[in-house]
Amino acid sequence: MAAAAGWLRRAAAAAALPRLTSGLTLLPAPPPAPLPEAQSLMVPGLVAGVSSAMELMAVPKKKVSKYKKGLRNGPKALKPVPVIVRCRCCGRVKLPHFYCCSGERGNPSDSS
């Protein structure tokens, strides 16, 4: 056992491998063996030969109820626009962008 430990120390010193604080040496790990074609991750829709990272998206854990969705989207709703407009000629209530008084246009101060 002592002979094996001495041989390991000499081999580590010759290779100049990094040492841990406890005095043990770190041995380099062999590279992982490549996976066979059948075990590799095949994603449909990707072109073969193009290596791209698969993008993951956030997925909600539970369905959001209609009530909660309404609370969240309530302030985003369109506000009603007041459509009460007075005609500048006769003063009647009319819809905006519509002519009143048979299409006569003029100022209320003009009495023609």
- Where do the structural domains in the chain lie, given as residue ranges? 83-112
List, as one string, the DSSP characters of 25-39.
BPPPPPPPPPPPTTT
Q: What sign for the dihedral angle of Cα 11, 16, 18, 23?
A: positive
Reading the chain (112 residues) residue by residue, the pLDDT tens digits are 666 677 777 777 766 656 666 666 666 777 777 766 655 556 565 555 555 567 888 999 999 999 999 999 999 998 887 788 888 888 888 888 888 876 566 555 555 4
| Main-chain dihedrals φ then ψ at residue 93, nearest 5 degrees | -80, 135
Q: What letter does residue 82 receive in the DSSP assignment?
A: P
Contact 35, 43 (CB under 8 A): no
Please tell me whether the overall predicted TM-score, pTM, comes out greater than 0.85 for this model: no
Instruction: Enumerate residues 6+ apart whose C-beta is below 8 A from 5.
Output: none
